[in-house]
Amino acid sequence: MASDSTVVLLGERSEIKPRPRGEAQRLSPGRFALVTITLFTFAFLYVPIVVLIVFSFNSARTGATWQSFTLQWYERVFNNPRILEAAANSLIVATLSTFGAVVIGTLMAMAMERYRFRGQSAWDGLLYMPVIVPEIVMGISLLIFFAAANISRGLLTLVISHIAFCMPFVYLTMRARLADFDRSLEEAAQDLGADEWVTFRRITLPLLMPGIISSALLAFTLSLDDFVISFFVTGVGSQTLPVYIWGQIRRGITPEINAISALMLVLSIVLVIVAQLIQRRQRA
C-alpha cells in the first residue's frame, strides 16, 4: 500500500496496460466535452507562461504593448551580479540539500521497509507530516528555532531547512522502490560468498540507482522552487533566486524578472525531459 500511495502522491507512473480499443475512439457528446475541457485547461495553464516568455523579448519597459524584439533583458540578467549570486546560492543550496536529503531519506526508507521495530508506525506518521504541514508554518517554526538556538541565518540554515522538507519526499519515493525490490538477488550474492558490504555496493545500490536519481531530481526541483520556507530562513547576502525575484516583484515591474522567469521555465522543461528519459530507460 505504501508503494501505491507514493506513486499516486508523487504522480509517478506505473506500467501502462493495453487498453481496449473502439470505445474511446468514438466522438460522442461526452467525449467532445472532455476534449473541450482538456484543451481549455491546457490553454489556461500555458497561455500565461507563453505570454510571459514572449514579453521577455519585448523592448517596452512597462505595459503589454509590443514594441520590438530585444535581448537586452537577458543581457541585463547575465550582467547583474546580484542575480548571478542569487542563482549561485540557489544551486549550492539545492545541490547540498539534495545530497543530504537523498542519503538520509534512502537510509530511512531501507530501515522502514526491511525491518520491523518498535515505534515504527509513529515514525511513518511523522514522515508524512511535513507533507500536510503548510509551508508557511514550517517556515516560521524554523525561523523561531534558529533564532532560539542563536544560529545566524544564511546558507547553512537554508540547507538545513531544505533537507528537512525534501527528505520526506525522498523517503516516500525510495520506500516505493524498495517495496518492489527483489531481495532474492541479494541472497544469491551472499550465497555466492559476497559479504554484506559487497552485496550492498554491487547489487543493492545499482538496482536502487534509478530510484535514487529520480528522488534526487525531485529533491533538487523542490529545493530550487521553494520560496516560502527560504524567505523565512534566509539571511542578508544569502538570497536564493526565488527570494530575489520576490523582492523585485514587490518593488515593481522590471522586465528582467520576465527574462529570469523564462530561463527558470526552460530549466524546468529540461528537468522534466531528463526525468522522463530516465524513466523510459528504466522501463526498457
Partner 1 sequence: MIQAFRERRSLRIFGLMGPGAFWLIVFFLIPLLIMAVISFMSRDQFGFPAPPLTLENYHDVIKDIRFNPSISFESGLNIRLFDGLYLELFWRSVWLSLVSTLITLLIAFPVALFMSRLSRRYRNLALFLVMIPFWTNFLVRTYALQFMLRGNGPINTALRALGLEPIDLLFTPTAVMIGLVYGNLPFMILPLYTSLEKFDWTMIEAAHDLGADTLRAFQRVMLPLISPGLVAGSILTFVPAIGSYITVELMGGGRTNMIGYTIAQQFSASVNWPFGSALALLMMIIVTVAAVLYFRTGRGDQRAVL
Query: Within positions 221 to 280, which residues make up the interface with partner 1, using CB under 8 A?
Result: 221, 224-225, 227-228, 232, 242, 245-246, 249-250, 257-258, 261, 264-265, 268-269, 271-272, 275-276
Q: How far apart are CB 266 and partner 1 at their closest, in Å?
A: 10
Q: How far apart are CB 30 and partner 1 at their closest, in Å?
A: 10
Q: How far apart are CB 29 and partner 1 at their closest, in Å?
A: 13
Establish if 140 lies at the interface with partner 1 (CB under 8 A). Answer: yes
- Separation of alpha carbons 47 and 178, rounded Å: 40
Compute CA 108 distance to the chain's CA centroid, rounded to the nearest angstrom: 19
Query: Within positions 8 to 67, which residues make up the interface with partner 1, using CB under 8 A?
Result: 8-9, 11-14, 16-17, 19-20, 23-24, 33-35, 37-38, 41-42, 44-49, 51-52, 55, 62-65
Q: Which is nearer to partner 1, 44 or 69 (CB)?
A: 44
- Separation of alpha carbons 18 and 166, rounded Å: 35
The only residue of 68, 81, 132, 180 in contact with partner 1, by rule CB under 8 A: 132
Establish if 103 lies at the interface with partner 1 (CB under 8 A). Answer: yes
Q: Which is nearer to partner 1, 12 or 186 (CB)?
A: 12
Alpha helices by DSSP H, listed for 115-194, are 120-132, 135-148, 155-179, 184-191
130, 9 Cβ separation under 8 angstroms: no
Establish if 143 lies at the interface with partner 1 (CB under 8 A). Answer: yes
Cell of 282: 528504466
Q: How far apart are CB 2 and partner 1 at their closest, in Å?
A: 7
Q: How far apart are CB 173 and partner 1 at their closest, in Å?
A: 14
Query: Within positions 146 to 185, which residues make up the interface with partner 1, using CB under 8 A?
Result: 148, 160-161, 163-164, 167, 171
Size of the site for partner 1 (CB under 8 A): 97
- Look up residue 152 and give its DSSP letter: P
- Separation of alpha carbons 55 and 278, rounded Å: 33
Q: With contacts defined by CB under 8 A, name the span among 71-79, 112-120, 185-193, 203-211 that binds partner 1.
A: 112-120
The only residue of 4, 187, 201, 247 in contact with partner 1, by rule CB under 8 A: 4
- Separation of alpha carbons 11 and 275, rounded Å: 12
CB atoms within 10 A of CB 269: 10
Contacts 24+ apart (CB under 8 A), 4-12: 5/172, 6/172, 6/173, 6/175, 6/176, 7/176, 9/131, 9/172, 10/169, 10/172, 10/173, 10/218, 12/173, 12/176, 12/214
